[in-house]
Structure 1
Amino acid sequence: MKQTHIKDSLNRPLRDLRISVIDRCNFRCQYCMPAEIFGPDFVFLPKNELLSYEEIERLARIFVGLGVEKIRLTGGEPLLRRELPLLVEKLSQIEGLEDIGLTTNGVLLPKFATQLKAAGLKRVNISLDSLKDELFGEINGRNVGTGPVIKGIHAAKEAGLGVKINMVVKKGLNHEEVLPMAKFCKENSLQLRYIEYMDVGDTNGWKMDDVVTKKEIFQQLNEHYDLEPVDPDYFGEVAKRYRYTGTDIDVGFITSVSESFCSSCTRSRLSANGQLYTCLFNGEGHDIKSFIRSNVSDDDIVGYVTDIWNHRNDRYSDVRTDETRKNRKKLEMSYIGG
Structure 2
Amino acid sequence: MSKSNITDELNRPLRDLRISVIDRCNFRCQYCMPAEIFGPDFAFLPKNELLSYEEIERLAKIFVSLGVEKIRLTGGEPLLRKELPTLVAKLAKIEGLSDIGLTTNGVLLPKYAKDLKEAGLQRVNISLDSLKDELFGEINGRNVGVKPVIKGIKAAQEAGLGVKINMVVKKGLNDEEIIPMAKFCKDNELQLRFIEYMDVGSTNGWRMDDVVTKKEIYDMLKEHYLLEPVDPDYFGEVAKRYRYEGTNVDVGFITSVSESFCSSCTRSRLSANGQLYTCLFNGEGHDIKTFIRSGVTDEDISGFVSGIWHKRNDRYSDERTDETRAKRKKLEMSYIGG
* TM-score of Structure 1 vs Structure 2, range by shorter chain: over 0.9
Paired residues of 1:198 and 1:256 also in contact (CA < 8 A): yes
Q: Which residue of 2 aligns with 1:62?
A: 62
Unpaired stretches in structure 1, ≥5 consecutive residues? none
* Letter in structure 2 aligned against 1:61: K
Q: Is 1:272 matched up with 2:272?
A: yes
Shift of 1:182: 0.1
Q: Which residue of 1 aligns with 2:10?
A: 10
> Secondary structure of 2:19's match?
strand
Q: Is 1:140 matched up with 2:140?
A: yes
Shift of 1:41: 1.3
Q: Summarize deviations over 1:163-193 as a string: whole Å, max 9, x none.
A: 0000000001000000000000000000000
Paired residues of 1:193 and 1:254 also in contact (CA < 8 A): yes
Within-5 A mapping of 1:18-57: 18-57=18-57
Moved over 4 A (4+): none
* Letter in structure 2 aligned against 1:64: V
* Letter in structure 1 aligned against 2:129: D
Shift of 1:28: 2.4
Q: Which residue of 1 aligns with 2:120?
A: 120
Q: Which residue of 2 aligns with 1:82?
A: 82
Paired residues of 1:29 and 1:35 also in contact (CA < 8 A): no
> Secondary structure of 1:269's match?
strand
- Distance in 2 separating the partners of 1:109 and 1:275: 27
* Letter in structure 1 aligned against 2:230: V
- Distance in 2 separating the partners of 1:72 and 1:79: 13
- Distance in 1 separating the partners of 2:203 and 2:108: 26
CA RMSD of aligned residues (A): 0.6
Shift of 1:37: 1.2
Normalised by the length of structure 2, the TM-score is 0.99
Shift of 1:203: 1.2
Q: Is 1:242 matched up with 2:252?
A: no
Normalised by the length of structure 1, the TM-score is 0.99
Shift of 1:31: 2.3
* Letter in structure 2 aligned against 1:153: I
Give the aligned length.
338
* Letter in structure 2 aligned against 1:216: E
* Letter in structure 2 aligned against 1:73: L
Shift of 1:35: 1.2
- Distance in 1 separating the partners of 2:44 and 2:245: 46
Q: Which residue of 2 aligns with 1:194?
A: 194
Shift of 1:30: 3.7
* Letter in structure 2 aligned against 1:239: A
- Distance in 2 separating the partners of 1:325 and 1:139: 24
Paired residues of 1:37 and 1:203 also in contact (CA < 8 A): no
Q: Summarize deviations over 1:254-278 as a string: whole Å, max 9, x none.
A: 0000000000000000012210000
Paired residues of 1:79 and 1:108 also in contact (CA < 8 A): yes
